[in-house]
Amino acid sequence: MAKKNKEVTRRQFIRFGAMTAIGIGAIGAGAGYLSTKDTTNGENMLRPPGAIANDDFMYACIKCGLCVQICPIDAVKLADFTQGLSYGTPYLDVREQACDFSCGAMQCVETCPTAALDFIQFKVKGEEAITKYEQEHPNDHDFNIIAVQLPAMHAHTKMGVAVLNTDTCLAAKGKGLKGAPRDESCKGVYASPEDVKKGLSPYPVHEHIFDRPICNICVTDCPIGETAIIFENNLPKVLDGCTGCGVCTMICPTEGPSITIKKV
Amino acid sequence: MPNVKEGLTFKQWKAKHAPTHKWRNKRWAVLILLNTLFWASFFFDISVLEGSLSGSRFFGIYLMDIFNSLQQILIGIRTGHFAMLTMNFFIGLGVIITFYFLVGGRTFCSWICPYHFLAENAEKLHNWLVKKKKIKEHNYAIGVKYIAFVMFLLLALLTKQLVFEDMNPVGIISRSIIYGPSVLLLWVLALLLFEIFHTKRFWCRYVCPMGVAYSAVGTITPTSVKFDLDKCGHCRDCQDVCLVPHELWFVKRGEATKEVHFTGADCTRCGLCVDTCYGGALKITVKGVEKLL
């Protein structure tokens, strides 16, 4: 109560100040150490596109969640302390919901205020693609800029790289796929390149119906296309153009997906 | 003395001008509305107030928390990442600094901060326990928060991590409201329990560097609490409800040096003293537009 004479002595100030400083130092160092522990082994827990190197991402990300909010398919989520990925930072669990680039111009990257997701690199790639197209097609004055720019931006993503497990892959066993690749327990959505051509928006995985004599949906439904993954010798083959977006992981019909994303 | 002017005893005068909750209710309404708006913008996917208290966007205008940005800038200068900070970052910081310069710096604390809201209600429990003599009152030097402020910045620079944000109850609560509960809410609970059973308003008074950052902005602001000496009965009940009672130093008999005083940078403009004052000696004012309020 203010009325009582509570003059704080210099000794009390130093003592309480020192205790607070030590307390903060201890808790802070502990929290800081724990948050560097990425214990996910990168198993399908990926950073959003454009994420800078993890050491820098740790401080650049202010955990505002703007990337979470802007993603139209709710692919980005914020990690909790127990997920071993640094509390409050964004990640994608691509087996649940992959990034299919349906937002268009890398909206999560563009919205990040502190450039923890760095947009400049994508902007540059997009502009380079437009310049290149203009040089190669000097007489095409009405070309669709978006159709040239966006694929170049998407292709520049490097969230990880897809890795095939030939032991469980249906194609490796010569098996086909009839029906939906996953059931309703998977809440993910996506639009395949063919869907996009038809002007469709992303829709649930369990509503994508296939009828393939040999399963090859990871190849046909890859948002990047043949620079990322092709079908060779009756097997999917991952190429350098793979962005690690995770659509293949999300739609793979086998129980533990036969194609997974490894962080790079 | 004001009660003499009204021909009443001190007790009668206090009873006649009983405390109200006018400012507290306005303040809680704004606080709850704003945090609800954050939640609603995510839940209903509308572009009203996106993000969280660390960084957000209000109808497209970026808003950046001051202390968070300070850590960002310091680490960024050390690592070179500073060059990559976006225009939106600086716009957001500028908007917040300008806004809080106008409305009073630490106004953030009592009008926006969700932890303050929880802590001020936890304080009621603490006061009740003290009254029942179940626990002892513990008060410390308010300057400790400057040590904490420097400590957090040093830790950020040394570890190249936003160490403060990993334990900042404001961010934890804000994110939990919007994106879902975190296990770190247990840490927030531990803080609140400490404030109930031991040190009154421990976080807000002695630790929070966000408060220090906002108070720096609030050193020059037209919005503060105005004190009229001739209306004061020197009962000091205002200091009892104040988060930062040292800001009301002039209410002690003999201390005031002028007829009119204004509260300083630590004042959160919460209005509890205004609501409590029996003589109407305290008013929230904006210098220059006093008639409007």
CB contact under 8 A, B52 and A112: no
Per-residue pLDDT at A5: 46
Beta-bridge mates of residue A40: none
Residues shown for chain A: 264
Q: Which residue of A has its CA nearest to B92?
A: A113
**C-alpha dist (Å) from residue B73 to A179, A207, B76, B169:** 53, 47, 5, 22
Q: Is residue A231 assigned to a domain?
A: yes
Per-residue pLDDT at B122: 96
Q: By percentage, how much of chain A surpasses pLDDT 90? A: 70
Per-residue pLDDT at A14: 82
Give me the mean pLDDT over the A79-83 stretch: 80
Asked if pLDDT for residue A257 goes beyond 70, the answer is yes
Asked if pLDDT for residue A155 goes beyond 90, the answer is yes
Q: Per the structure, how many domains does chain A have?
A: 1
CB A241 within 8 A of CB A156: no
pLDDT band, very low/low/confident/very high, at B292 (cuts 50, 70, 90): low
Q: What residue spans define the domains of chain B?
A: 2-18+222-292, 26-216
Mutate to test the interface with B, among A5, A63, A86, A87 (most CBs of B within 10 A): A63
Size of interface A-B (CB pairs under 8 A): 171
Q: How far is CA A231 from the centre of its chain?
A: 24
Q: Is residue A152 assigned to a domain?
A: no
Chain A nearest CA to B7, separation (Å): 26
* CA–CA dist B264, A75 (Å, integer): 46
* CA–CA dist B228, B219 (Å, integer): 21
Chain B nearest CA to A162, separation (Å): 29
List of chain B residues whose C-beta atoms are within 8 Å of the C-beta of residue A113: 55, 62, 64, 85-86, 88-89, 92
Q: Is residue A30 assigned to a domain?
A: no
Asked if pLDDT for residue A192 goes beyond 90, the answer is yes
Residue B279, chain A, CB below 8 Å: the answer is: no
pLDDT tens across B79-102, in order?
999 999 999 999 999 999 999 999
For A7-63, the three-class secondary structure string (H helix, E strand, C coil) is: CCCHHHHHHHHHHHHHHHHHHHHHHHHHHCCCCCCCCCEECCCCECCHHHHHHHCCC
Q: By percentage, how much of chain B surpasses pLDDT 70? A: 99
At residue A169's C-alpha, the angle toward residues A163 and A173, to 5°, is 140
**C-alpha dist (Å) from residue B50 to A97, A110, B65, B176, B254:** 21, 14, 14, 14, 50
* CA–CA dist A156, B128 (Å, integer): 61
Asked if pLDDT for residue A29 goes beyond 90, the answer is no
Beta-bridge mates of residue A211: A178
Residue B147, chain A, CB below 8 Å: the answer is: yes
Chain B nearest CA to A263, separation (Å): 22
List of chain A residues whose C-beta atoms are within 8 Å of the C-beta of residue B55: 62, 64, 66, 113-114
b or e along B256-265 (b: 16 or more beta carbons within 10 Å of the residue's beta carbon)?
beeeebbbbb
**Residues in contact with A65: Cβ distance below 8 Å, sequence separation at least 6, in sequence order:** A78, A90, B42, B51, B52, B175, B178, B179
pLDDT band, very low/low/confident/very high, at A55 (cuts 50, 70, 90): confident
For chain B, the three-class secondary structure string (H helix, E strand, C coil) is: CHHHHCCCCHHHHHHHCCCCCHHHHHHHHHHHHHHHHHHHHHHCCCCCEEEECCEEEECCEEEECHHHHHHHHHHHHHHCHHHHCCHHHHHHHHHHHHHHHHHCCCHHHHHCCHHHHHHHHHHHHHHHHHHCCCCCCECCCCCHHHHHHHHHHHHHHHHCCCHHHHHCHHHHHHHHHHHCCCCCHHHHHHHHHHHHHCECCHHHHHHCHHHHHHHHHCCCCCEEEEEEHHHCCCCCHHHHHCCCHHHHHHHCCCCCCCCEEECCCCCCCCCHHHHHCCCCCEEEEECCCHHHC
At residue B56's C-alpha, the angle toward residues B53 and B58, to 5°, is 120
Q: Is residue A172 assigned to a domain?
A: yes
Q: State the distance between the two ends of chain B, measured CA to CA, in whole angstroms.
A: 26
- Six-digit token string for B152: 């957090």
Q: Which residue of A has its CA nearest to B207?
A: A20
Residue B75, chain A, CB below 8 Å: the answer is: yes
Q: Is residue A166 assigned to a domain?
A: yes
CB B209 within 8 A of CB B152: yes
pLDDT tens across B44-75, in order?
999 999 999 999 999 999 999 999 999 999 99
Q: Is residue A189 assigned to a domain?
A: yes
Q: Is residue A102 assigned to a domain?
A: no
Per-residue pLDDT at A3: 46
**Residues in contact with A94: Cβ distance below 8 Å, sequence separation at least 6, in sequence order:** A44, A46, A75, A245, A246, A247, A249, A250, A261
Residue B84, chain A, CB below 8 Å: the answer is: yes
* CA–CA dist B165, A47 (Å, integer): 19
Q: Is residue A60 assigned to a domain?
A: no
Asked if pLDDT for residue A2 goes beyond 50, the answer is no
Angle between helices B114-131 and B169-179 (to 10 degrees): 120
Per-residue pLDDT at B253: 92
Beta-bridge mates of residue B55: B52, B64
The domain in which residue A195 lies consists of 161-243
pLDDT band, very low/low/confident/very high, at A71 (cuts 50, 70, 90): very high
Select the residue of B89, B152, B183 nearest A24 (Cβ to Cβ): B152
CB A67 within 8 A of CB A159: no
CB B42 within 8 A of CB B177: no
Asked if pLDDT for residue A199 goes beyond 70, the answer is yes
Per-residue pLDDT at B28: 97
Range of lowest pLDDT (A195-199, A218-222, A259-263, B289-293): B289-293
- What mean pLDDT is reported for chain A? 89
Beta strands at B55-58 and B49-52: parallel, antiparallel or unpaired: antiparallel
Chain B nearest CA to A200, separation (Å): 20
